Structure 1
Amino acid sequence: MGAEAGDPVVAKFDNRPTWDNNGPKFDNRPTWDNGNKKESHCRAARTPRAGRPVPTETELAMDSRTFGRVTVALPNLDETGAYLSNVSSLETGRGIVQDFRYADADLRDLALSDTRLITGRIIGLRASRVEFSAMRLDSVDFDGCDLGSADWRDSKLSRVAFRNGKLMGATLTGLTIDSVLFENCRLDNATLDNVRATGPVAFSTCTLSEAVFTNCDLGRVVLDGCTLRLTEFGRGRYQGLDLRGNDLSALRGAAHLARVVIDRPQRTELAEALVAELDVTYGDTLDDGR
């Protein structure tokens, strides 16, 4: 019986989703798969490189290392499906090298400027003369490289690892570093000027004999098990610099190391370094009558 004029209209309750009322049957698959299965906008998983073993969960978890109070994120190059192409040079007209492997090069000169290196391994590189400027490195691993007395300026490094390498006599100027690891490296006689650590940085079991730090911001840096013989700390910002686990007795510039982190037994080492720098005279060494 139809409703007469003036009668209230009562809508029949329908608990189906409103977008499905009087329409096609509801499909709870992802929207890109509804109907005629339109093209997915999701990136397909990459296929692992042929012959390359799939990393275990433990290996995948090893994308960071903790030293004292800081955790350094490492280049994540072993993720499932990662593919690194062998390259014969780091020089490119495009100014970018990505997903690469550069191995066993023995060069007289290596000069790079305004170049970006992204996701790659550099293995066994040897160069007598290295000049880097305005570089950007993201997720790059250097292993067993000898960069000689490199001149490296005005660059940004993020998630970079230097292992078992040499930067002896290198000059590092105006670098901004974040999540960078130097492990088992030789940086004897290196000069680090205006180097700013904006994120966690670690020097682990490195030799820094007679290296010089000037105008650096090392508040988020850890030196762990390093050789600091005649290592000089000039003016700079060192509040928070973690020096635990190192012999501090032979370093220079102890007066500039305000608010660094040390262990209690290291107080005598730091005091010894300061006394040596002040060149004090002990009374019992004076001649009688003086």
Structure 2
Amino acid sequence: MSTHTFGTATITLPDLEESGLHLTGIDTLDNPRGAVQDFAFGDADLRSLDLSDTRLVTGRIHDIRAQHVGFETLNLHGVEITGSDLRAARWDESKLTRVVIRNTKLLGAALNGLVLHNVLFENCRLDYATFTKVRATGPVAFAGCVLTEATFTHCDLSHVVFSKCGLRLTSFGPGRYRNTDLRGNDLSTVRGVTHFVRVRIGPGQQHDLTRALVTELDITVEGD
């Protein structure tokens, strides 16, 4: 069983190289039975990629370029998404378990009501993405991701790790942040620092948070 540790999170990854496992290449993720297993889907340019009420188990989605993406009530288990450009993505009410999303663009994506357990976002572009009511029920990490002007609202990010991420003007709204690990990131421009109750930071990041708070509260610092 493959694991990867980032900060305080040890994530169990999908093991798609295990002995005896064969991934079958498919042309579509649609299946009338509502389940796709042991699959490989990729290397395609699509106008749209829409999927709902489907279970994806043990598979790889790679090198997909889609102009519009709509995912709803999906159950992903043991899935890897790599090297893809998923534009105008809307991803609703889904559960992700042992999922890796790597080297993928989700610019301006809207992720609503996702439940995450052993999930890794690695080297992804998540600029302007909105995360609403996203809940981590197990280890979750954002590693090397760019989240410029992304927004988290009413999320449970307890124990989630942000490792070496770009958090320029990232907004953290009301939510749960107990033991959210923010060490190793520049926090000087984040918004919503007043919601950071019981987060983890490293030495020197107090100055980042002070700067962010001064900006957020529109405080003017003047000499005597």
TM-score scaled to structure 1, two decimals? Answer: 0.76
2:6 to 50, 67, 76: 67
Instruction: Quote the residue 1:216 is aligned against.
Output: 155
> Is the 1:189–1:211 contact (alpha carbons within 8 Å) kept by the matching residues of 2?
yes
Q: 2:184: which partner in 1? A: 245
Q: Which has the higher strand share?
A: 2
Report 1:25-40 matches (<5 A).
none
Per the alignment, residue 38 of structure 1 pairs with none
Pair 1:161-2:100 in alignment: yes
1:178-189 matches, cutoff 5 A: 178-189=117-128
- Aligned mates of 1:69, 1:181 — CA distance in 2: 13
3-state SS, counterpart of residue 140 of structure 1:
strand
Alignment check: 8 A CA contact 1:127 1:146 kept: yes
TM score, norm. by length of structure 2: 0.98
C-alpha separation in 2, matches of 1:105 and 1:135: 21
What secondary structure is seen at the aligned counterpart in 2 of 1:106? strand
Alignment partner, residue 174 of structure 2 = 235
Preserved contact between residue 198 and residue 220 of structure 1 (Cα < 8 Å) = no
Residue 65 of structure 2 is aligned with which of 126, 136, 143? 126
Q: 2:137 aligns with which of 198, 221, 227?
A: 198
Q: Report deviation, 1:76.
A: 1.0
> 2:5 is paired with a residue of what secondary structure?
strand
User: Aligned AA for 1:183?
Assistant: E
Is the 1:172–1:193 contact (alpha carbons within 8 Å) kept by the matching residues of 2? yes
State the shift of 1:218 in Å. Answer: 0.4
The 1-side partners of 2:205 and 2:178 are apart by 17
Counterpart Cα distance in 2 of 1:133 and 1:145: 19
Q: How does 1:167-178 map to 2 (within 5 A)?
A: 167-178=106-117
What is the alpha-carbon distance in structure 1 between the residues aligned to residue 83 and residue 39 of structure 2? Answer: 17
Q: Output the CA distance in 1 between the equivalents of 2:88 and 2:98.
A: 23
**Which residue matches 2:165?**
226
RMSD (Å), alpha carbons: 1.0
Q: Which has the larger radius of gyration?
A: 1
Gaps of 5+ in 1: 1-60, 286-290
Paired position in structure 1 for 2:18: 79
Show the 5 A alignment for 1:132-143: 132-143=71-82
> Residue type matched to 1:152 in 2?
W
Q: Indicate the SS of the match to 1:260.
A: coil
Contact 1:131 1:150 in 2 (8 A): yes
| CA distance in 1 between partners of 2:222 and 2:165 (Å) | 34
**Structure ranking higher on relative contact order (CA contacts 8 Å, 6+ apart):** 2
Q: Which amino acid aligns with 1:65?
A: H
Q: 5+ unaligned residues in a row in structure 2: which ranges?
A: none
Say how many residue pairs are matched.
Answer: 224
Distance 1:250 1:282 in 2: 17
- 1:13-52 aligned within 5 A: none
* 1:113 paired residue number: 52
